[in-house]
């Protein structure tokens, strides 16, 4: 039995879900971003109990097909941006269509209608969050970050970063470094 969970987009969320399943003594085969495979069918009462525990952590058990598809779209985007280092060989719309077995126009319209933003905007938000993480780690140059996140150029990344955050990547990085120094040298 597969269950789909809204907002389960990070490792910490997976750990919370794992703890809740153990607490309820629910046996599972796997826990992935937004998706749990349960060994046995759950009674309605048990399902309700699990739903209530999830909601305490800002997570939501999904039960309609459109909501599940939206979460699958988000999962593909998050995995691609945050966890996949391989360059994308086809454009993103084709990749998403192929991965979810739906026409991209349908996916894009459903996503916009439900989430109030385009898939493209959602991707940009996640890419900028990833850029912030990578800048904070200070292990990669802006050129390497640009390449890893499939930007056409460093200038494109910088312009998009400034448009979303109001800061240039180097200014953001300096703020992080100064804040860290302030914590070390009071």
**12: exposed, middle or buried (Cβ count in 10 Å: 0-12, 13-18, 19+):** exposed
183 pLDDT above the threshold of 70: no
pLDDT for 124? 94
What's the number of domains the chain is made of? 3
Write the DSSP string, 30-51.
EEETTEEEESSPPPHHHHHHHH
pLDDT for 186? 47
Is the domain of 4 the same as that of 59? Answer: yes
Is the domain of 133 the same as that of 175? Answer: yes
Is the domain of 14 the same as that of 55? Answer: yes
Average pLDDT of span 85-100: 81
185 pLDDT above the threshold of 50: no
Is the domain of 109 the same as that of 139? Answer: no
Is the domain of 16 the same as that of 50? Answer: yes
Residue-range definition of the domain harbouring residue 110? 64-79+88-116
Is the domain of 56 the same as that of 103? Answer: no
Average pLDDT of span 10-24: 90
pLDDT for 137? 84
Q: Rounded to whole angstroms, how far apart are CA atoms 61 and 47? A: 9
68 pLDDT above the threshold of 90: no
Is the domain of 112 the same as that of 145? Answer: no
Q: Rounded to whole angstroms, how far apart are CA atoms 176 and 16? A: 29
Is the domain of 21 the same as that of 39? Answer: yes
Is the domain of 136 the same as that of 171? Answer: yes
- Retrieve residue 155's tokens: 């200038």
Is the domain of 1 the same as that of 59? Answer: yes
Indicate the pTM of the whole model.
Answer: 0.73
Domain CATH number, residue 135: 1.10.10.60
């Amino acid at each position: 039995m597969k269950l789909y969970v809204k907002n389960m987009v990070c490792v910490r969320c997976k750990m919370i879900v794992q703890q809740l399943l153990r607490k309820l003594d629910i046996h599972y085969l796997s826990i992935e971003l937004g998706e749990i495979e349960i060994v046995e069918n759950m009674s309605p009462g048990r399902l309700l109990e699990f739903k209530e525990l999830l909601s305490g952590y800002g997570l939501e058990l999904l039960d309609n097909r459109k909501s599940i598809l939206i979460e699958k779209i988000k999962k593909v985007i998050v995995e691609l941006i945050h966890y996949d280092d391989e360059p994308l060989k086809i454009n993103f719309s084709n990749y998403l269509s192929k991965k979810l077995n739906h026409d991209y126009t349908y996916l894009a319209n459903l996503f916009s209608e439900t989430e109030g933003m385009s898939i493209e905007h959602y991707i940009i938000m996640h890419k900028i969050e990833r850029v912030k993480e990578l800048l904070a780690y200070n292990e990669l140059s802006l050129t390497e970050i640009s390449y890893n996140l499939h930007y056409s150029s460093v200038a494109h990344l910088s312009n998009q970063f400034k448009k979303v955050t109001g800061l240039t990547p180097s200014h953001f990085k300096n703020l992080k470094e100064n804040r860290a120094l302030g914590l070390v040298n009071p």
